[in-house]
Structure 1
Amino acid sequence: MKNLPQKVRSKKLSSRVDLTAMVSVSFLLIIFFMVVGELSKPKTMDFSLPNYDNEERFMGCVLHDENRTLTLLLDNDNQIITYSGLLFYPIEGPKKVQYGKSGIRKELLERNKKVLQYSAQRGKPGRGITVIIKPSKKSNYGNLVDILDEMEITNIDSYVIVPEFTPEESKLLASN
């Protein structure tokens, strides 16, 4: 008899898969999504809220430590109108000041010094002035940037930009 050809059996290769690359890609994706998740959270800024110790009611408004507020109304021709407290019950009445070292910067430094003394007397040392910046439609963007620069120079970190005017403030701007 003739030798029948033997069946050639194929050699079975190991079915082991190297997952090293898959693991490193997985870790990179996990890190990527953790970083993106952390960066996409909204950032908020701390704002020094008024003192709520003793609330007073005056003309339908709740006055919360208005001694610590200074309002800046930015007008055209590089004019600033400032007042402390509330316009209808001001601590310091409205007055015009100019930009610069001898104008608004001097005003901010003096007012902040008074407020720091006031806060220290009331048992809350270190609570400085809160500045409310209200740019009018007539003021330009450069004026707003200049005021923000003054906040940085005078180390006032508690300020807010409010685009709305009260009717009294609108009348005050129109009269000047």
Structure 2
Amino acid sequence: MAEVIAQEKQGGSKQRKKLIRVDMTPMVDLGFLLITFFMFTTNFTKPNVMDLGLPAKDHSPNPIPQPPIDIDVNNQITFILGKDNRVFYHQKSKEDLNSSNLKETSFSGINISKIISEAYNKAPRKEIFTIIVKPTDDANYKNFVDVLDNIAISKKERYGVTDIKPWEKKVYEELIK
């Protein structure tokens, strides 16, 4: 730390002069510890980011209306994210969907990836197989990210995020009562 060095001078009755020497070693150690700490924390807290490709907004005054894209129900799978960490899925049309064929699964393990793979293997045209994610108002963001992670794990690049349709919401609400 600090040292006091006393020197005696020869000669008369003069008072002794004390020299003070400050040891800076602990301050240098602290500086290196702080530098190391901040370097580690910045390297370990890098965010994991997944690209979410969304179409560009058309800002023209007269946008060109696009025809609706009709996807065969066998070439798609729809996930509905509900409240209380519940997730439902189906491969049915508006006319065929009911509470008995809107199936529920969980986020545990690889359930969603397995469901995606099974639907993909049964698809007649694999090149246009599409995954549709429809979060409800009660869904939480973590579940949405979990589904996107499972899509990335299953290496499927065609997916979309859209609002739940009224006919799907009706069946969904029957199941959560």
Letter of the structure 1 residue corresponding to residue 109 of structure 2: K
Q: 2:113 aligned with 1:105, yes or no?
A: yes
Find the aligned partners of 2:70 and 2:91 in 1 and give their Cα distance.
13
Identify the residue that residue 140 of structure 1 maps to in structure 2.
140
TM-score of the two chains, using structure 1 as the length reference: 0.54
Find the aligned partners of 1:133 and 1:168 in 2 and give their Cα distance.
15
Closer, same or farther in 2 for the Cα pair 1:170/1:144, shift >3 Å?
same
Find the aligned partners of 1:175 and 1:70 in 2 and give their Cα distance.
20
Equivalent pair of 1:68/1:85 in contact (CA under 8 Å):
no
Q: Report the CA distance between 1:62 and its aligned residue.
A: 8.5
Closer, same or farther in 2 for the Cα pair 1:128/1:109, shift >3 Å?
farther
Closer, same or farther in 2 for the Cα pair 1:128/1:64, shift >3 Å?
closer
User: What is the RMSD computed on CA atoms of the aligned residues?
Assistant: 2.5
Q: What are the equivalent positions in structure 2 for 1:161-176 lying under 5 Å apart?
A: 161-162=161-162, 164-176=163-175
Q: What are the equivalent positions in structure 2 for 1:91-130 lying under 5 Å apart?
A: 93-115=101-123, 118-119=124-125, 126-130=126-130
User: Which ranges of structure 1 fall in alignment gaps of 5 or more residues?
Assistant: 1-42, 46-60, 120-125
Letter of the structure 1 residue corresponding to residue 73 of structure 2: E
Q: Report the CA distance between 1:96 and its aligned residue.
A: 0.5
Find the aligned partners of 1:79 and 1:44 in 2 and give their Cα distance.
25
Identify the residue that residue 156 of structure 1 maps to in structure 2.
156
Q: Deviations over 1:69-101 (max 9, x none)?
A: 1111000121111111423235x9310011133
Find the aligned partners of 2:69 and 2:142 in 1 and give their Cα distance.
34
TM-score of the two chains, using structure 2 as the length reference: 0.54
Worse-superposed segment, 93-102 or 106-115? 93-102
Q: Deviations over 1:96-148 (max 9, x none)?
A: 01113342121111111111xx22xxxxxx51520110001111000110011
Q: How many pairs are equivalent?
A: 109
Equivalent pair of 1:109/1:154 in contact (CA under 8 Å):
yes
% same residue:
25
